[in-house]
Amino acid sequence: MKIAELWRYPVKSLRGEQLAHAELLPEPGLLGLAGTLGDDGVPLIEGHPWNHPRSIAAVEAAAGAGATLVLSEGPERFDVLPLSILTDGANAALGVDRRRLRPNILIGGVDGLSERDWPGRELRIGSALVAVVKLRPRCVMTTFDPDTLAQDHGVLRRIVTDFGGVMALDAFVVEPGSVRVGDAVHVLA
């Protein structure tokens, strides 16, 4: 198995950007910061408003230079695990443009739906180590063609009826490392 494609989605719900190389990094540093709401409903980080220079500095110290926060009021602010992985075998079983599933990593050379046995296991991808947590529940975004924006509700219906509502994998980085298109992928015990 090998990495067939790498994708980054810098803005939630916008079309992604295909990459040849990426650095996979863990994201636990933000967990060390206290997040609360002020009496006025403004999010606070370590007691300061989310957009205060001290808050911004704390976020950059935890997540890396250039990391920023964005205020979002709707339910879309809740996200799943930071890394989405899809295999060519599972995508072929579904039979749609893989971009509808918005994977960060597309793994090629996988037989059928074998990715469904990977939750609870780790993957060595390039020099990074990734933990697969669960199969990824899918939403209405899969119904939109990424080029024309034409909607096909049948895609999500098929994911629900034929695949239990889940397709692809939710994962996180255990050991950071470089990954490139063409790098080997190994499923560990």
pLDDT cut 70: percent of the chain above it: 90
* pLDDT at residue number 23: 81
* pLDDT at residue number 6: 92
More confident call, 62 vs 83: 83
Domain ranges of the chain: 2-8+80-188, 28-77
Compute the distance between CA of residue 49 and CA of residue 178 in angstroms, rounded to an integer: 35
90 and 162 Cβ atoms separated by less than 8 Å? no
- 42-64 pLDDT, tens per residue? 888 889 998 999 999 988 888 77
User: Is 60 exceeded by the pLDDT of residue 28?
Assistant: no
* pLDDT at residue number 78: 42
Number of H helices, E strands in the chain: 3, 13
* pLDDT at residue number 75: 40
CA distances for 175 relative to 106, 131, 178, 185, angstroms: 19, 9, 10, 14
2-16, 88-102, 137-151: segment of lowest average pLDDT: 2-16
CATH H superfamily, domain 2-8+80-188: PK beta-barrel domain-like (2.40.33.20)
82 and 173 Cβ atoms separated by less than 8 Å? yes
pLDDT classification of 79: cutoffs 50, 70, 90: low
Mean pLDDT of all residues in 166-179: 94
* pLDDT at residue number 76: 45
* pLDDT at residue number 10: 61
User: Is 60 exceeded by the pLDDT of residue 35?
Assistant: yes
Compute the distance between CA of residue 5 and CA of residue 109 in angstroms, rounded to an integer: 12
User: Is 90 exceeded by the pLDDT of residue 33?
Assistant: no
Question: At CA 1, angle to CA 17 and CA 179, rounded to 5?
Answer: 40
Compute the distance between CA of residue 132 and CA of residue 151 in angstroms, rounded to an integer: 30
Helix (H, G, I), strand (E, B) or coil at 90: helix
User: Is 70 exceeded by the pLDDT of residue 74?
Assistant: no
- Average pLDDT over the chain reads 88
